[in-house]
Amino acid sequence: MKEKLKKALDNMKKYNQGIMYQEIFGFDPDTEYDALVIAPGWHPVKIIKDPSYKITLLSQHSYFAGYLVEKDGLKVAWAQTASGACNVLDHAIICAEMKFRKSIFVGAVGGLSIDFKVGDFCTPKECISGVYVNHYLDEKLEDFHPFKKIQPDLDYMERIIELAKASGYDLKPAKVFCTDSISMEYSHLDEIKETGAELIEMETGTFYTLAALFEVPAIALLAVSDNSATGDPLLGRGEEIEAAYHHTRSDIIPKMIFRIAGMKEQESVYASDKDVCEISDRQIEKNMDAYNDLAK
């Protein structure tokens, strides 16, 4: 944890008592979690359909909740927050003193380009900040620079892209604009697109700003829910694109959370990986079939 974050937490403790992440989310101070998931609006009990995941509600409030999600011996602390960068900042920062090995953001993202379709699995390679709340981490609130560019650890991002590929998933890196308002972004789409943004959502720039202070590996996993460039709406989606979105949200992303949580930092993404071996075996069979067809 960087000194700036320690200072912010010390200032909070002057006016608040108790272990904040335990009070809010119910997370255990004595447990080292394999990953901390930050999930605006996403309750695991609603999006995860596979019964092999064990989901335990730890704490429930009006707009946020804490869960323990377990699978294959891994423990994931799931912080469901309200939407918006300010909510992610307020609730993620109190988790900084927890014991966790990785931080993973999950959420929906809108498309700004015809190169993305609903259901695509994406991750930010750059966040273009259109939100103000990040600057509460600066020395002075007046040090505001609109459209500041925030990057994740690109080497780690590439490792996760390779892990997704090995798992049979196409994780697409993209430039993401972070907005303060879903309703009003439509009135500024041309200006937003001029920044080079390909996708739009609310919180990943704040997540990566905090992740740099947490000093743990961090990645954002996003499912494209709509696209203003192609006319696929956020509300009133057809059954086909609705199914594509929910497949990424409910199937691909939970699997990737636990693949990332279980990945050793020094090992190859391919090491000790039963699923990858099965994929490789199938590919070998396909290659042999193609070779035999040519030989006939």
Can you give the pLDDT at residue 265? 67
Using left for φ > 0, alpha for ψ between -120 and 50, and beta otherwise, residue 165 falls in alpha
- In tens digits, what is the pLDDT along the chain, a chain of 296 residues? 889 999 999 999 999 989 999 999 999 999 999 999 999 999 999 999 999 999 999 999 999 999 999 999 999 999 999 999 999 999 999 999 999 999 999 999 999 999 999 999 999 999 999 999 999 998 899 888 889 999 999 999 999 999 999 999 999 999 999 999 999 999 999 999 999 999 999 999 999 999 999 999 999 999 999 999 999 988 888 889 999 999 999 999 999 999 999 998 654 443 334 443 343 344 434 444 443 443 33
pLDDT of residue 234: 86
Buried/exposed code over 217-241 (b: 16+ C-beta within 10 A; e: otherwise):
bbbbbbbbbbbbebebeeeebeeeb
Q: What is the pLDDT of residue 266?
A: 54
Within 10 angstroms of residue 40's Cβ, the number of other Cβ atoms is 24
Given this model, what pLDDT does residue 144 score? 85
Q: Are 131 and 148 in contact (CB under 8 A)?
A: no
Q: CA 29, 34, 38 angle in degrees (round to 5)?
A: 80
Class of domain 3-265: alpha beta
Six-digit token pair at 36?
Answer: 């901390």
Question: How far, in Å, CA of 243 to CA of 109, rounded?
Answer: 16
Q: What residues form DSSP beta bridges with 128?
A: 149, 177
